[in-house]
Structure 1
Amino acid sequence: MIKLSFLFLFISIFNSCSTSTPDSKLEGTPLPATPTSPIVTLTDAEAMDQVQKDVVKYFWEYAETNSKLARERYHEGDPSFESNIITTGGSGFGLMTLIVGIERGFIPRGEAVLRLTTALTFLENADRFHGAWSHWIDGNTGKVIPFGTKDNGGDIVETAFLCQGILAVREYFKNGNSAEKALALKADNLWKGVEWDWYTKGENALYWHWSPNYGWDMNFKIQGYDECLLAYVLGAASPTHPIPAAAYHDAWARKGNITNSGSQYGIPVILNYNGASGNVGPLFWSQYSYLGLDPRGLKDAYADYWKLTQNHSKIINQYCIANPKKWNGYSDKCWGLTASYTRNNDGSTGYTAHQPLNDTGVITPTAALSAFPFTPVESMKFLHYLYDENKSTLVGIAGPYDAFSPHYNWVTKRYLAIDQGTIAPMIENHRTGLIWKLFMQAPEVKQGLVKLGFSSTQHGF
């Protein structure tokens, strides 16, 4: 969820973090152990099963102990590092990941319901700012952990990603047993409590942050195109605090100026990616909003969203194959640029939004793996590259490590919730469409999309 100037604030916070001592093992039924190297080459189905099972561990075995929500990050070998910091958006991705884990039989349904009930109860009691949660929350207390000096209040984009997961939970459990129906009711109440209209400042726009101390000082108007589309969709969909359609058209779509007629590698770009000068941005821009929002057959006045998301993935794939910076290791099976840990010039670890205009020689596994619905052949090549050829070095206790560089012979044995959290849901969307079905069947979502001028041949509106 890191964009443009806001990214630099995140990088400075990220690089200033310190380590601490290990904590005790987290409870939860452990998932089956993953062998360090396969005895035989995995079939496509086996490979997808394995990576989905692996990344579920991040949100099951390595969740924050009190809230059961997603830790911001996890460093292999140092489990207590920032162990109390919950990431709001990453927790939303984690809710969807656990649904995949239940559906695939990786985790017990009854135990998952108890875990999710604890998580949503925590969210009921955590700090909220006109209904929105903060970017970071203290898992011990439910209090805001400032993401920056003035970023100590509501974050409507992180809240949108959390609500995407909350709505998926509601839809998945709403017709279940009494405990599941109670969980679905909790989810419904949490979603309805967000005051999306407050975050317009009374204008035809959404603003990212509001602080009880600094008000609107950050003044970050959300304009397209990047990862934030979902905030406008859910804002329009809200049955309690809706935003006007004009906010979407005036601010997000920039009064029609969001469109782009250019192409890269012969593939249309379709929309103007913020700061990309006619190119495309990091791949998370075509993933975070689309874990639940189904782009198949989805259109409005500005784009065909299946072509948009598919073309974005294809352009990044073709860029890595063309490899204009001549990094060692880039190929048709080793590709993928998005925001993640990175290797700095001095060899230290940092964070950046990898993309064609910011290519540091670092590959981020979530980029290609979370693009599975859009580039299934190309993503499968990368999956086998990870699990058949490089599992002992590139895959750890909770799935593929966050980032690596063949050029520098470098890998970071670390995880980020926002990266691990998109893998299982997007692979499941490729396999069965499960999370897309759950989110799109929510009646408010359809109403919100229609209000903004969308149509969907896939979902009949």
Structure 2
Amino acid sequence: MAKYFTVISLFLVLFLGCSSNGPGYQEPYIPPTDDPVVEKLSDNEMLDLVQRETFKYFWDFANSDSGAAKERYHPNDPNLNSNVVTSGGTGFGLMSIIVAIERGFVTRNEGVERLQKIVNFLENADRFHGAWSHWINGSDGKAIPFSSKDDGGDLVETAFLAQGLICVKEYLKNGSVLEKEIATKADALWKGVEWSWYTQNKEALYWHWSPNFGFDINLKLTGYNEVMITYVLGAASPDFAISKEVYETGWASNGAIKNTATKYGLPLVLRHSGGSNFGGPLFFSHYSFLGLDPRNLTDQYGSYWDTAVNHSKINRQYCIDNPKNYLGYGEDLWGLTASYSRNPDGSRGYSAHSPSNDKGVISPTAAISSTPFTPSESLKVMHYLYQKKDKVLGPAGFYDALSPHYNFWVTNTYLAIDQGPQIVMIENYRTGLLWNLFMQNTDVKRGLDKLGFNY
């Protein structure tokens, strides 16, 4: 499992900086004694606000050359790495633009124009056996190394992007001549991914391939975590399909993915990567289920709805129990997942927060992106954050992380992979829009059937 978190560690060290003198470091925010009184919103008004404000990340602050999602955005330093776009975050952005069109945040013509710009950029960007790199230069489409050997295809980020491309295809396929053209391109792009290449002729998928280092990183995709969508799309591919055995051996570890453990009386159902019986970071139950509908999704290993719901409830109850006695944790403020982070010495970095890696830092995306699984509990967090909006609500939604324990420290920064799921999962809770688009795709259905899913 150490290999799995190597990616997160590299992100921390190489990109965000982790020393007290590192890039972007800021002193903890010390709030005023009395918070101003903020008018309360209804639940629907709150959901509208969070979707609308968070969408600005993918619209107002997207990379200007490509329209793709920047890896991160620092309002106090807007030009910082502004040419670094993220393939997975761009997939989340594609889905967010669909939501924005339906919600009237942008007109259909505006949204379609942006979708066209992004799809055209992806068509001409570097690819490695069909897969995009984790980071791409938004100006010229060239791969930007994520780490010393991660300078080629990233299959997991590509899967997140493909999930968005499939939703674009389904959303536009019956539209105008231009919309049909975009739909056709989006469909061809995801179908060009050589999923079977990324098995190394073994019975598992592997995360990376580099033209310079081959499969040296050798990180096998094993569940339960965020990479489930990679196996589903691999099975759905018309030209580069993986076998059911790859799913069973790789994702499910020949049945070892099953888990009989319970916490707070709630079954975990599946063994989470990392081995925690509290469950892993909440993004495990977000990224694959932006398009893949878990409500009725089962296979021989268990119910994915029960897995996601219980994961969210266990994470919440851990924060309420608060065994480390961090200030501010409770029913109004819970949710541990990967985000910007803060250490006791004041240094800042990135960390995959979870009950087994609890640093006193709450990530708003954790509860907000869990809205389909814990609607009333997630809304309670949103209402709390809104009452603190002078501290935590910025130009692109709620900031990425905060900690009341450290003098109400707030990161005042954003990450694409944390903002996108908020918009999409709220919409799935409200209308099922992205779930319906993704699940109606004939290739997706064929892949799910091949792997033995009921849905």
Alignment check: 8 A CA contact 1:19 1:81 kept:
no
User: Hey, what's the Cα distance between the residues in 1 that align with 2:276 and 2:303?
Assistant: 21
The aligned residue for residue 11 of structure 1 is 12
The aligned residue for residue 425 of structure 1 is 424
Cα gap change, 1:191/1:111 in structure 2, threshold over 3 Å: closer, same or farther?
same
Within 5 A, what are the aligned runs for 1:159-178? 159-178=158-177
Give the Å deviation of 1:39: 5.8
The aligned residue for residue 32 of structure 2 is none
The aligned residue for residue 248 of structure 1 is 247
User: Hey, what's the Cα distance between the residues in 2 that align with 1:179 and 1:78?
Assistant: 37
Q: Which amino acid aligns with 1:354?
A: H
Give the Å deviation of 1:10: 1.7
User: Hey, what's the Cα distance between the residues in 2 that align with 1:289 and 1:437?
Assistant: 14
The aligned residue for residue 324 of structure 1 is 323
Cα gap change, 1:391/1:16 in structure 2, threshold over 3 Å: closer, same or farther?
closer
The aligned residue for residue 398 of structure 1 is 396
Q: Which amino acid aligns with 1:7?
A: I
User: Hey, what's the Cα distance between the residues in 2 that align with 1:399 and 1:307?
Assistant: 29
User: Hey, what's the Cα distance between the residues in 1 that align with 2:300 and 2:5?
Assistant: 26
Output the aligned Cα RMSD. Answer: 1.5
Give the Å deviation of 1:279: 2.6
Determine what percentage of the aligned residue pairs are the same residue.
57
Alignment check: 8 A CA contact 1:361 1:405 kept:
yes
Give the Å deviation of 1:38: 8.5
Q: Which amino acid aligns with 1:8?
A: S
The aligned residue for residue 27 of structure 1 is none
Q: Which amino acid aligns with 1:145?
A: I
User: Hey, what's the Cα distance between the residues in 2 that align with 1:250 and 1:428?
Assistant: 34
Give the Å deviation of 1:15: 3.3
Cα gap change, 1:37/1:50 in structure 2, threshold over 3 Å: closer, same or farther?
farther
Q: Secondary structure at the match of 1:137?
A: strand
Cα gap change, 1:92/1:108 in structure 2, threshold over 3 Å: closer, same or farther?
same
Alignment check: 8 A CA contact 1:337 1:354 kept:
yes
Q: Which amino acid aligns with 2:390?
A: S
Is the counterpart of residue 274 in structure 1 residue 311 in structure 2? no
Q: Which amino acid aligns with 1:112?
A: G
Q: Secondary structure at the match of 1:350?
A: strand
Alignment check: 8 A CA contact 2:316 2:335 kept:
yes
User: Hey, what's the Cα distance between the residues in 2 that align with 1:6 and 1:286?
Assistant: 18
Q: Which amino acid aligns with 1:195?
A: E
Greater Cα shift, 152-161 or 174-183 = 174-183
With structure 1 as the length reference, what TM-score do the two structures score? 0.93
Give the Å deviation of 1:290: 0.2
1:95-138 deviation digits (Å, cap 9, x = unpaired): 11111111000011101111111111010100000000000000
User: Hey, what's the Cα distance between the residues in 1 that align with 2:98 and 2:112?
Assistant: 10
User: Hey, what's the Cα distance between the residues in 2 that align with 1:276 and 1:284?
Assistant: 16
The aligned residue for residue 28 of structure 1 is none
Alignment check: 8 A CA contact 1:14 1:351 kept:
no
User: Hey, what's the Cα distance between the residues in 2 that align with 1:277 and 1:138?
Assistant: 36
User: Hey, what's the Cα distance between the residues in 1 that align with 2:276 and 2:397?
Assistant: 34
The aligned residue for residue 45 of structure 1 is 44
User: Hey, what's the Cα distance between the residues in 2 that align with 1:152 and 1:122?
Assistant: 19
How many corresponding residue pairs? 439
Is the counterpart of residue 137 in structure 1 residue 136 in structure 2? yes
Q: Secondary structure at the match of 2:261?
A: strand
User: Hey, what's the Cα distance between the residues in 1 that align with 2:212 and 2:454?
Assistant: 41
Alignment check: 8 A CA contact 1:133 1:156 kept:
yes
Alignment check: 8 A CA contact 2:226 2:288 kept:
yes
User: Hey, what's the Cα distance between the residues in 1 that align with 2:256 and 2:275?
Assistant: 15
User: Hey, what's the Cα distance between the residues in 2 that align with 1:181 and 1:38?
Assistant: 49
Q: Which amino acid aligns with 1:371?
A: S
Q: Secondary structure at the match of 1:261?
A: coil
Alignment check: 8 A CA contact 1:56 1:424 kept:
yes
User: Hey, what's the Cα distance between the residues in 1 that align with 2:37 and 2:215?
Assistant: 53
Within 5 A, what are the aligned runs for 1:5-154? 5-16=6-17, 40-154=39-153
User: Hey, what's the Cα distance between the residues in 1 that align with 2:295 and 2:170?
Assistant: 20
User: Hey, what's the Cα distance between the residues in 2 that align with 1:92 and 1:118?
Assistant: 13
Alignment check: 8 A CA contact 1:233 1:449 kept:
yes
The aligned residue for residue 33 of structure 1 is none
1:411-432 deviation digits (Å, cap 9, x = unpaired): 0100000000100100000000
Alignment check: 8 A CA contact 1:58 1:398 kept:
yes
Q: Secondary structure at the match of 2:371?
A: coil
Q: Secondary structure at the match of 1:341?
A: strand
The aligned residue for residue 442 of structure 2 is 443
| Unmatched tracts of structure 1, length 5 or more | 21-35, 457-461
With structure 2 as the length reference, what TM-score do the two structures score? 0.94
Q: Which amino acid aligns with 1:390?
A: K
| Unmatched tracts of structure 2, length 5 or more | 25-34
Greater Cα shift, 226-235 or 10-19 = 10-19
Alignment check: 8 A CA contact 1:66 1:140 kept:
yes
Alignment check: 8 A CA contact 1:296 1:305 kept:
yes
User: Hey, what's the Cα distance between the residues in 2 that align with 1:154 and 1:85?
Assistant: 16
Within 5 A, what are the aligned runs for 1:404-423? 404-408=402-406, 409-423=408-422
Q: Which amino acid aligns with 1:410?
A: W
Q: Secondary structure at the match of 1:71?
A: coil
User: Hey, what's the Cα distance between the residues in 2 that align with 1:149 and 1:245?
Assistant: 33
The aligned residue for residue 205 of structure 1 is 204
User: Hey, what's the Cα distance between the residues in 2 that align with 1:138 and 1:63?
Assistant: 13
Greater Cα shift, 206-215 or 266-275 = 266-275
Alignment check: 8 A CA contact 2:17 2:349 kept:
no
Is the counterpart of residue 342 in structure 1 residue 341 in structure 2? yes
User: Hey, what's the Cα distance between the residues in 1 that align with 2:436 and 2:326?
Assistant: 39
Alignment check: 8 A CA contact 1:37 1:391 kept:
no
User: Hey, what's the Cα distance between the residues in 2 that align with 1:342 and 1:448?
Assistant: 37
User: Hey, what's the Cα distance between the residues in 1 that align with 2:16 and 2:422?
Assistant: 25
Q: Secondary structure at the match of 1:386?
A: helix
The aligned residue for residue 355 of structure 1 is 354
Q: Secondary structure at the match of 2:77?
A: coil
Q: Secondary structure at the match of 2:133?
A: coil
1:312-364 deviation digits (Å, cap 9, x = unpaired): 00000111111111111001010000000000121121110000000000000
Give the Å deviation of 1:203: 1.0
User: Hey, what's the Cα distance between the residues in 2 that align with 1:8 and 1:39?
Assistant: 39
1:177-209 deviation digits (Å, cap 9, x = unpaired): 111111101101101111101001111110100
Give the Å deviation of 1:436: 0.2
Is the counterpart of residue 265 in structure 1 residue 264 in structure 2? yes
